[in-house]
Amino acid sequence: MRLHRVRWERIRRWGAFLAFTAPALALISLLIVLPAMQTVALSFTDKRGAFVGLRNFIEVLSDSDTLNLTGFPPGPPPWGSLVHNAVWILLHLPLTVGLGLILAVLLERARGATFLKSVIFLGMVTPMIVGGVIIRFLFDENAGVVTAIMRAVGLTALGRSWTAYPETALPALILGSVWLWAGFSMILYSAGLATIPRDYYEAAAVDGAGPLQQFWYITVPSLRPVTMVIVAMTILWELKIFDIVYTATLGGPGGATMVLALQMYFYAFRALEFPRAAAVATMLSLFTLIVGLWFVRTLRSSE
């Protein structure tokens, strides 16, 4: 009799679980899982639906029209716009993480810190479409603040419109996106700093540790979980960057700022090359999955 009650209780619990989760699972399967599987399958076919293996991926990564790295020695590798995403990560990630940490530390006890943080965070709440337009004007030859400063300090070569030339277009977008994203890392680091006990700093000061030593041996290690979150979220944002590039340069000039997400858009809605667009989408999903798995594994190992 008791065994029967236990079994009935388990059935009742599983029934309630399925009743509550079945609608959500059905929607996820219909709107996410099934389209994702179809996209992956499409990436291995041609326009006629015939299986072509990795041909779409090879053609996407060897598309020279989406790559323009002036002065890249000894010549740009055949990786298409993936190189531009890699350059974005290599430059934007350390600048964003470092600037956010420095701002959080400097504004921790400063007067008017709340107001200053709000001003810095405006870049984060600004729609990225608007951010792309702002970046274009910041680096414009006639109306740009950055170009005016360059001319004022004697750097006339950098006083022209950055987004109009292949060698400066990508750096302009990356530097502009630092302003748009630095507020995110600053806010997270500010929250992380509030969790560090002040006793650590007081004990370090008694032992003779200076501000730089306290920062390096107390602040930085204590903020490691926050840094991992910022790094993972920033890389994911850099992989799927689209709107800034679309409004600022449209991938130009000459493909100098083309990124994977914009390349996927052009393949799908301009060239109607849906298998190639699916190949780009599959690569982006794979890169995103790798970053997510790294983040989960690193987070678990640090516990």
Q: For 127-146, write each residue's pLDDT tens digit.
A: 888 999 999 999 999 888 99
* For residue 105, pLDDT beyond 60: yes
**Of 250, 271, 240, which Cα lies nearest the Cα of 60?**
271
Which pLDDT belongs to residue 2? Answer: 62
CA–centroid distance for 180 within its chain: 12
- Rounded Cα distance, 92 and 228, in Å: 15
Instruction: Return the CATH class of domain 43-301.
Output: mainly alpha
**Of 192, 198, 180, which Cα lies nearest the Cα of 227?**
192
pLDDT, tens digit (0-9, with 9 covering 90-100), for 213-267: 989 999 999 999 899 999 999 999 999 999 999 999 998 888 888 899 999 999 9
pLDDT-wise least confident of 66-75, 99-108, 294-303 = 66-75
Averaged pLDDT of the chain: 86
Which pLDDT belongs to residue 158? Answer: 86
What is the CA angle 69-75-79, rounded to 5?
Answer: 70
Residues in contact with 177: Cβ distance below 8 Å, sequence separation at least 6, in sequence order: 88, 92, 131, 135, 241, 244
Which pLDDT belongs to residue 187? Answer: 92
Task: Please state the pTM of the whole predicted model.
Answer: 0.84
Domain ranges of the chain: 43-301
* Burial class of residue 233 in the structure, from the number of CB atoms within 10 Å of its CB (0-12 exposed, 13-18 middle, 19+ buried): middle
- The larger pLDDT score, comparing residue 137 to residue 77, is at 137
* For residue 69, pLDDT beyond 50: no
Residues in contact with 63: Cβ distance below 8 Å, sequence separation at least 6, in sequence order: 80, 81, 263
